[in-house]
Chains A and B, each alone.
Chain A
Amino acid sequence: NAGVTQTPKFRVLKTGQSMTLLCAQDMNHEYMYWYRQDPGMGLRLIHYSVGEGTTAKGEVPDGYNVSRLKKQNFLLGLESAAPSQTSVYFCASSYPPSGYGYTFGSGTRLTVV
């Protein structure tokens, strides 16, 4: 089925470890986004990309890096995980200038201990 696929779905990290979250979409969308969801704070934008080879900072970029080497993939990296990065991470994609909203992945629950 067409959509946005996130891997992994769950992960537990120790403080200081690194990891990469993968987001893949098969809808030929130009724009891709990484959000984190925390209780009482909704979804906050970490980084986004407006096309292959481009990335930009969102609202809460510190401690994260991203890459968009291929149009269909958007990677989110944590170089040195901290407990404050415990969250649920969502990837989304959209086709601008469409106002038809975004397609979201099913989320990754990350716990940093």
Chain B
Amino acid sequence: AQTVTQSQPEMSVQEAETVTLSCTYDTSESDYYLFWYKQPPSRQMILVIRQEAYKQQNATENRFSVNFQKAAKSFSLKISDSQLGDAAMYFCAYRGNDYKLSFGAGTTVTVRA
């Protein structure tokens, strides 16, 4: 399995502020996909954003954006204008040519009112 590393077990952010979650991965493949999933207390896995490795442009979905650095094998998630509903566990995930999804250990995001 590919190795996906999330080095921040927990992050805290003030409401309306910005927080950045880190993710690095290890691969020898050139074509792959990267994802960020959100898991609220309901346990449901919700796709936040995806990035195709062959695209240089960083993906953006409303208040969520990524900084994809292919050479550095880095894929960070930025949450802007944080809201109370953003509080959750966030997982970085990698999908290679074998179509299997490998996950990082997760980062718990707390939003302070």
Q: Which residues of A contact B (CB under 8 A)?
A: 31, 33, 35, 40-45, 48, 50, 58-59, 88, 90, 92, 94, 96-97, 99-102, 104, 106-107
Contacts and interface: CB of A to CB of B under 8 A. Distances in A.
Interface of B: 1, 4, 6, 9, 33, 35, 37, 42-45, 47, 50, 52, 91, 95, 99-106
Contact of B101 (A40, A45, A88, A97): A45
Contact of B50 (A33, A94, A99): A99
Contact of B52 (A41, A92, A99): A99
B53 to A, nearest CB: 9
21 contacts: A35-B103, A40-B105, A42-B91, A45-B1, A45-B100, A45-B102, A48-B100, A50-B99, A90-B45, A92-B45, A99-B95, A101-B35, A101-B37, A101-B47, A101-B95, A102-B47, A104-B45, A106-B43, A106-B44, A107-B43, A107-B44
B105 A42 contact: yes
A40 B9 contact: yes
Contacts of B91: 42-43
Contacts of B6: 42
Given A33-B101, A42-B104, A107-B43, 14 more contacts: A42-B6, A44-B103, A45-B1, A59-B1, A90-B45, A94-B101, A99-B50, A99-B52, A101-B33, A101-B47, A101-B50, A104-B44, A106-B43, A106-B44
